[in-house]
Structure 1
Amino acid sequence: MARQKRAAVPEALKTPTDLSGNDTLSVADALNRVLADSYALYLKTKNFHWHVSGPHFRDYHLLFDEQAAQILAVTDLIAERVRKTGNVTLRSIGDITRRQTISDNDAEFVSPKDMLDELRADNLALVEGFRAVKQAATEAGDNATEGIVDDWTDQAEQRAWFLFEAGRGA
């Protein structure tokens, strides 16, 4: 995916920080990418929640809804972390589309097993994104981002584990 051209932070949005602006650019880029992926994963998880069918309907329907709520809850924390580093975050669906690496699923029908497998793979891709955030934060000396991303990583790993275990019986 092509790197986005960075617009200057408008004066009215400049957030005071002791972090170097140049050092935080890579952190903001990584955070904005996982934010875009989080929104893509949230919508895909809700899509599967709305369209799941079959003998495990209730279990998967509830699992997908719980996971979607957890993903959505993290999006605000990610965006606010970008702002705390003195940068700007996503502004639109188009911005999400340009930055996301997790692909959408517009299929008319997806089997429950394929839903579980796809969401598991996407959560693991999100884990990779969080690890990139951690590395960028470490290099920038941004210990706050470096610390908080561990919780987000753990949540995504847990979602992937639950999806894997649920898929064993599908």
Structure 2
Amino acid sequence: MSTPVEKRKTAALATPTDLKSNAIQDISGALAALLADTFALYLKTKNFHWHMSGPHFRDYHLLLDEHADQIFAITDDIAERARKIGGTTLRSIGHIGRLQRLADNDADYVTPEDMLAELRDDNRQLISLMRETHDVCSEHNDVATTSLLENWIDEAERRHWFLFEITRKAK
């Protein structure tokens, strides 16, 4: 006889969907990796927000807080989208570390200019990763996920644009 704990360990998470099993695996895998990257970018953005310094402190501090809030806001949607189609999602910080493609920055000090340039480049990379995820979803005719991704890409493009303009060198 199984105990309640044993039953929970083997309980199926299968959510009914009309997507084929290979589509569920491909899409939820792509979403899990994207979620790991999103958490990595969120934490880096907060790190730089917390450690900002210099003459533009207030403006950059507030901008990075706004960016971090926007990035964090999509994490639940990404995870829940994977679950809605019958997939699974991230389970731990270690899982994030194994899947993330965006590099961490553990430096004791980063100049404000380097912080903004790194976040600019990371947001650009996230846009590319979102487009790759969009392609996976399109291949499997998952229009709901592609629609969400299109909005997230637009938000990331706006963040990239702001960071690009701030880091542009005067002629």
Same fold (TM over 0.5): yes
- 1:53–1:112: 8 Å Cα contact kept in structure 2? yes
For 1:81 and 1:21, how far apart are their aligned partners in 2? 15
Q: CA deviation at 1:168?
A: 2.8
Gap regions ≥5 residues in structure 2: 1-9
- Mapping for residues 13-162 of structure 1, pairs under 5 Å: 13-162=13-162
> Which residue identity is paired with 1:36?
A
Q: CA deviation at 1:11?
A: 4.4
For 1:165 and 1:29, how far apart are their aligned partners in 2? 34
CA-to-aligned-CA distance 1:131-159 (integer Å, 9 cap, x gap): 11110011111111111110000111110
Bigger shift: residues 102-111 or 10-19? 10-19
For 2:39 and 2:146, how far apart are their aligned partners in 1? 21
How many residues in Structure 1 have an aligned counterpart in Structure 2?
Answer: 161
> Which residue identity is paired with 1:48?
F
Q: CA deviation at 1:24?
A: 2.2
> Which residue identity is paired with 2:35?
L
SS of the equivalent of 1:146 reads helix
The percentage of counterpart residues that share the same residue type is: 57
Q: CA deviation at 1:27?
A: 1.2
RMSD: 1.3
Gap regions ≥5 residues in structure 1: 1-9
Relative to the length of structure 1, the TM-score reads: 0.91
Question: After the TM superposition, which segments of 4 or more aligned residues of structure 1 sit over 3 Å from their partners?
Answer: none
For 1:168 and 1:49, how far apart are their aligned partners in 2? 20
SS of the equivalent of 1:70 reads helix
Q: CA deviation at 1:169?
A: 6.5
For 1:23 and 1:164, how far apart are their aligned partners in 2? 36
For 2:146 and 2:24, how far apart are their aligned partners in 1? 12
Please identify the structure whose Cα radius of gyration is greater.
Answer: 2
For 2:57 and 2:167, how far apart are their aligned partners in 1? 13
Relative to the length of structure 2, the TM-score reads: 0.91
CA-to-aligned-CA distance 1:36-95 (integer Å, 9 cap, x gap): 000000000000000010000000000000000000000000000111111000000000
- 1:33–1:129: 8 Å Cα contact kept in structure 2? no
For 2:101 and 2:72, how far apart are their aligned partners in 1? 17
